[in-house]
A and B are shown apart, each in its own frame.
Chain A
Amino acid sequence: MLKDQTMSVVLDGSPLKAMQSSHTHSQQTALSAQELSQEIKSFISGVDTVQGRKLSVREHARCAVRLLRSVPACRGAVLEHLRGVYDEHVSAFLHNLETESEASSGVSANLEDIIQEVHGVLSEFIRLNPRAWAPLVSAWAVDLLGQLSSKHAGRRVAPHSSSLNELLQLWMSCAATRSLMEAYSQCLAAMLAWCPDACVDALLDTSVQHSPHFDWVVAHIGSAFPGTIISRVLACGLKDFCAHGAKDTGLMVMGVDKGSRVPKIGSVVGILGHLAVHHSDSIRKELLRMFQESLSPSSPLSPTSSSTSWESSPQLRRAAVPFLLQLAAMSPNLFGAVSAELVELLRPPILLQLQALLQGIPREELDNMLGLAVHLISQSPSGGSRVLRFLADTATPASVIISGPTPSPHEGVREGCDRLLQMLLLHLHKLVFNRSEGAEVNSHRSASSQPQRVIPFLEELQAHVGELCAETLRLERKRHLWLHQLLCLLSVYGGPSVATEALCQLLTQAHNPEELALAWQLHTTLSSCMAGLIPAAVARCVAQIHTHTLGPRQLRQLLLNMATAIQSQDEERRGAAGVQSSMAIQVGSAVSGHLHDFGPLLLHGDPAVSHAAVRLLSCSPLPRTSSPAHLLLLSRAAVTHFFLALRRRGEVGKLGRDAGQAGEAVNCSVLLLSRFAAYSPLTLKAVLQQLVEGALHRGNASLFGGQIADMSGAPLPQIPPVSPDIGASLLDINCRFGTTVNFSGSVWSVFHAGVIGKGLKVRTDTPLPDPSGVMQNVQTLLAVVVQCCSSSGLNGSRPPSYPDEPLPINAEAAKVVAVTIVENVCPDVANGELSWPPEEHARTTVERDIHIRRCFEAHPVLFPLLQVVAAGRPALCYCSAVLRGLLATLLAHWESSREVLSTDSPWHLQASCLLVSCMGEGQLLPPVLANVHEAFPHLTPFEVRLLLLAVWEFVRGNGPMPQKFVFSSEKGLFCRDFSRDGDVARYVAPIHSVLHKNIDRLGHLCWRFQL
């Protein structure tokens, strides 16, 4: 129904209108003076003077229109009369809507055509002579619109004034109001050319009078004439503000609404706010223009400024900045539109002008403005970081050292900014802490209390924590103090997440202890109100590592920072224990929880990173509990890193910073391994095992003087090792089935010392590595192994009686080493029992024995390792197979040797000596037998064989069984009581005979072989 009605009242039905107007026109010319006076009498009395009956509303209105056309003096009265007609129509219209009855629609329809007629006449008049009619009709229409909308606002069908769109829809569907609106638009369009201020003034006045029911009119008009309305509305608002602001100097402070005292500014804000939805761009331009114009030096005869514009009045110019502030304070929309670009505008020349302007303002008012500005900044939803940077840049004192992005600003400007910044911080401080108090109270009362007060400035800055931290860490004077304070506020405001982020950023970005101290300062401030900050921050750092968001340098820095943090704990422990130490402990425990996350970093491609990681790990405490998987991974990584560090130390040489770093890396690595080994039996085992395996690994062999030769005595696969034919088919291999079976270790095994007719296999000679480096590496490795083995992880820890005395080698640890050696050196488990067979049976294991010997040849480090094992009695028993194999090959060598002296085959001599001494140390041999190696260099090969054979015989007779060892509590070691074994003298006989034979040379050794 509504639609139909509106359709029928289209006011631009031009043919009808034209007809109507021409009709009345012709009628008017026909009216004589006499008729006119009749007409006016009828109009005044409401009675048809000719027929003497009462005029209907319709006829009365027609009569009025006729008078309007013919008697100019009547226009006031006619327009006044028409108010009633319009009102009546609106009433009928609304009544119709309310009753929804079709019956009464006839009445309103009648009036509708009258309204149409009136509209036609008025718009014709306005078109013909806008200057005369536009002011008149616009004033009338606006006033009537205001009256109608507030009068009928309470009607049932009228939507609430806040729902602007519904309101607009309702009123625009009513013929009367629509007609008025169109008339007003027409007037405005005409008047904008010559007196825009007047019509906007009228609009604002009416808006104030009938607010908020009138808002739909303003909204409609505003969106029809955005360009002009905006600037005019601003100009009007400024004038009004200036007029009112002069009276009461107190501006609005801190969001306290003073709108009632400045009536127009409320309307201005409302209108602009509505327009901002669609025309925010032009509004922004206009506001910024106003700002700039107000600052630019006044040119009284500026050609651009029109006579009515505000620019020409110095008073208005002065008021512009306060006015804009006020506007911004009252409308977040407007503020949001301007704030972003305003900062860009504030270049030094503008700032100077601004300062010049503000100097003219009384102190109290200035304070108020400052407060307002601070309030605005804290409420600004976007661009906060830019504002902050601008303020900090400007407020930072000029310095010779630090040259900011902008040239040093004027001193007065700088002070102003300084003050502004400090007030901002103070204000934020108040906001943040009041807010949290309020929140607490609320949470006590009810869970569903209103949300915490939002501070947009901080809200926005939360996204820029990283930049803030970076700025803060630049440690420029004053600036970092401000920023640090701001960071604190931000953290308190944003809660744990922001605080964590900030701390994490500081940890990542700090480059030296002073910068790192900022992080601790921040933590100290925050720790009072936030718990678990450091673990969270560390967890966040770890997350960063996982996501690979950090570059190598940053990563390294982060790790080093954390290491420094943990190490400060030790320092503090020595010195006065402060807050920092507790924090260091916290960092330590937090890091320890994430050790497995740092582990992989040990193997990071960048040596700097891995170095940092090892530093961190070496100083961080170990967690109370940890899963075996993590531990194994970590130990693997640590051991691998150890070898990498050794290699790196060898590569970088001895000079320069790198060398120092590499050395330190090795030290750290050693520390880490030893601490880690001490952590639990599992880790000890893992570390040792991997250390030994690593030391024997092909890749690492060269570190320890090993030769990466073809060390396996076992037949290599028939496929040549460097076969280009990697893609050998399985079929081929299967066809040659018989040859691929490995018969090594069996009687059928074949020597592969070479091919008959071609001589021995050529051994590839690799250049020996730097012997001193090898020595160092071996020492390091042994140190690690010894440290690991001697750390009191396994058996009940017994503190050493003297601090200088090295701890005894732990038996279990030594056993691990032993087992690992056996596994690596002796590939064949067959004949692997501990007890020794008769010497002749060694023939069955020739191949394996050769393999073992070659291993010892290739890895000189094995002997020292064996010595370590020997020290951890009775672990050497487990190496029985290896010892046996080696001894067997040595026996074979000495037997077949045709040299004059044993010293002619140096390696074998040395090996023999070491082997025997090891076995002696490991108490596999009694001291008498163990001492025989001292005589070896003075003997012939045969004699050496005899002695070794005696050793063999003894071991065969007295098997190397661990159970023969007894723990002696006073020594803290396992010991073997040889008296329980059989008579040693039986085995000493060959020794004595050899002694006798060579008594000339061996006389001095005789006492060594006394039983």
Chain B
Amino acid sequence: MGDIRQSLLPRDVLSAAKELLYHLDIYICNLVQSGRQPPQVDSKTQELVEEFILHAPKDRNTPARRMSAIQELQLLEIMCSCFQEQSRDTVRQLMFSALFSLQGNQADESRMALLGKLVSMAIAFGRVPILECAASWLQRTHRVYCVRLAQVLVDDYCSMVPGSGPTLQNIHSASPRFCCQFITAVTTLYDLTTEELTPPLELLQMIVSWIQDDPRLVLINFLNTPLSGNQPISSLDVTPLGGLMRWCVKAPLAYRRDKKQALTNGTTESEPEVGPLFSALHLSVLQVLMLLPNILNEKGLFGRLALLQMECLASLSSDLSRLLDQADKHTHASSADSRVLSQLALERLAQALQVAMANGALLCSREDLRTICSRLPHNNLLQLVLSGPVMYYNNIHTPPLAFSPHAAHSPIASHPTHPAHTPLPTHPSSHPQYPTQPFMTGMPFPFRPSH
């Protein structure tokens, strides 16, 4: 493959790139047919790709050749059709990774730029194969780069070009896998810490509608991925559950801060309220969590695989306490309003914790939870969740093994503890006649997973 360099050099930028793509296609086909395991593109070819497609400067002496934007567009178009027309999945995947797998060199920047444009175009033109390839790429790649890709897409479709949102909306039907990964990346990107890191409204609406339409979308990646255990370090989470939970919990406080800034700035835009959106999202998250026991059981992973990481929760808790401190400091005037919002955040956290624990998404003891949540202000529901099922202690006198960290290592022990939660469901609904109790918000709380 390396011998074609001499023939590529005299050509102009675009045709050289086209030629190389053509040769790459043939080369990979041959590679796959030869059946060598694992099919690996050699470094010579990588260098060619970097030189003629990504136009990374080969060395200091030769100035990098650059494509004009129109040439680049042509190349992208050719790539699109190339991936589209490739019938064999393996070849396509190999080709994609030959082009876009990060190599840790200076070509990565142009690689990311090209990838962003390619995926963006694929979304516009509905090129499913490319999206599938991109989904795999997102799974393999370090989360920093995934976040960058997501950022490019969000910029393109949610801020740059007005009215292009619906195009992005379509990825849900075009490639659920990509969609799921996209959500994960987006929730990782937007952690609601600053104004820049708050998701655009359009994106939020999109995600809520996706999950409402099909809660299993969130888990699709988890379902389709064989848990090989060779998940690359610091890649994206398998599911966006942690990120979504963070959104829901922090939203009341984060958006209130935004609103306050908007008010002080004197701009009173009548944006649609995000509150209901996050409520719906929260509900969907809880529903998804409740789907988990069946799936985990099917896979035989209940109590063994924590879809929600403890570190994630810890950071959420500390973020939340910081936000609440800030809220206390800055809003003395509208204290009533702010207290309601703070309580809402705490309650969402409590609900999510309880449901996650109950459905095996979170594997920890209540003792751990208490340490994590020790800095949070008082909330009745949270208090209740942290203190655990009192009835259980009274009646059975055995510690809740299922939530001990030891349980995570003994899959067999988790099964008998599962029904231990059954006394709880009756708890909130048993006193509907006492509206004064703050933790009984009157909301029906379906603890029992719908089998």
Contact = CB atoms under 8 A, between A and B. Distances in A.
Interface of A: 25, 28-29, 33, 36-37, 40-41, 43-44, 68-77, 79-81, 124-125, 128-129, 131-133
Given A36-B125, A70-B124, A70-B167, A77 B159 contact: no
A195 B125 CA distance: 34
Contacts of A40: 73, 77, 125
Given A72-B160, A80-B70, 12 more contacts: A25-B163, A33-B124, A36-B125, A44-B73, A44-B77, A69-B163, A71-B161, A72-B156, A73-B73, A73-B116, A76-B73, A81-B70
Contacts of A131: 159
A37 B73 CA distance: 12
Contacts of B161: 68-72, 75, 125
A77 B70 contact: yes
Given A37-B125, A44-B74, A80-B69, A72 B163 contact: no
Contacts of A28: 163-164
B72 interface: yes
B124 A73 contact: yes
A29 B163 contact: yes
Contact of A76 (B69, B157, B164, B167): B69
A33 B125 contact: yes
Contacts of B120: 71-73
Interface in B50-75: 68-70, 72-74
B196 to A, nearest CB: 9
A42 to B, nearest CB: 11
Nearest to B153: A72
Given A44-B73, A76-B73, A129 B159 contact: yes
19 contacts: A28-B164, A29-B166, A37-B80, A37-B125, A40-B73, A68-B161, A71-B120, A72-B161, A72-B164, A73-B73, A73-B118, A73-B124, A74-B121, A77-B69, A77-B70, A80-B68, A80-B69, A124-B162, A129-B160
B257 interface: no
B117 interface: yes
Contacts of B162: 124-125, 128-129
Given A33-B126, A37-B125, A73 B76 contact: yes
Contacts of A70: 124, 161, 164, 167
Contacts of A75: 160-161
A236 to B, nearest CB: 25
Contacts of B155: 72, 132
A718 to B, nearest CB: 104
Interface of B: 68-70, 72-74, 76-77, 80, 116-118, 120-121, 124-126, 155-157, 159-164, 166-167
B259 to A, nearest CB: 19
Contacts of A25: 163
Nearest to B126: A33
A82 to B, nearest CB: 11
A125 B125 CA distance: 22
B205 to A, nearest CB: 17
Nearest to A71: B124
Nearest to A64: B70
Given A69-B163, A72-B164, A124-B162, A79 B124 contact: no
B82 to A, nearest CB: 13
Contacts of B69: 76-77, 79-80
Given A28-B163, A29-B163, A125-B160, A73 B121 contact: yes
Contact of A44 (B70, B157, B164, B167): B70
Contact of B73 (A77, A124, A133): A77
Contacts, number: 80
A25 B161 CA distance: 11
* Most central of A28, A40, A70, A72 by chain B CB within 10 Å: A72
Nearest to A136: B160
A249 B125 CA distance: 58
Contacts of A73: 73, 76, 116-118, 120-121, 124, 156
A25 B72 CA distance: 26
| B-side interface mostly | helix
Contacts of B124: 33, 36, 70-73
Contacts of A69: 161, 163-164
A124 B72 CA distance: 26
A71 B121 contact: yes
* Most central of B77, B116, B155 by chain A CB within 10 Å: B77
Contacts of B73: 40, 43-44, 73-74, 76-77
Contacts of A80: 68-70
Contacts of B77: 40-41, 44
A125 B162 CA distance: 7
A71 B161 CA distance: 8
B158 to A, nearest CB: 9
A757 B103 CA distance: 153
Given A29-B166, A128-B162, A72 B70 contact: no
Nearest to B167: A70
Nearest to B81: A37
A37 B77 CA distance: 9
A76 B73 CA distance: 8
Contacts of A133: 160
A125 B155 CA distance: 13
Given A40-B73, A44-B77, A77-B69, A132 B121 contact: no
Contacts of A68: 161
B72 A76 contact: yes
A603 B155 CA distance: 98
B159 A132 contact: yes
Given A36-B125, A80-B68, A80-B69, A72 B166 contact: no
Contacts of B167: 70
Nearest to B200: A129
A128 B200 CA distance: 13
B121 to A, nearest CB: 5
Nearest to B170: A33
A69 B73 CA distance: 16
* Most central of B73, B76, B121, B126 by chain A CB within 10 Å: B73
A41 B160 CA distance: 22
A133 B156 CA distance: 11
Contacts of B74: 44
Contacts of B76: 73
Contacts of A77: 69-70, 72-73
B157 A72 contact: yes
Contacts of B157: 72
Contacts of A79: 69
A281 B296 CA distance: 74
Contacts of B159: 129, 131-132
A30 to B, nearest CB: 11
A191 to B, nearest CB: 15
Nearest to B68: A80
B248 to A, nearest CB: 27
A41 B74 CA distance: 9
Contacts of B117: 73
Contacts of B163: 25, 28-29, 69
Given A33-B126, A70-B124, A72-B124, A132 B160 contact: yes
Contacts of A37: 80, 125
Nearest to B118: A73
A745 to B, nearest CB: 114
Contacts of B126: 33
A561 to B, nearest CB: 74
Nearest to A68: B161
A186 to B, nearest CB: 16
A332 B157 CA distance: 52
* Most central of B70, B160, B161 by chain A CB within 10 Å: B161
Contacts of A124: 162
Nearest to A25: B163
Identify the 6 closest CB pairs spanning chains A and B, nearest first.
A72-B156, A76-B69, A33-B126, A77-B73, A73-B120, A80-B69
B303 to A, nearest CB: 44
A131 B154 CA distance: 14
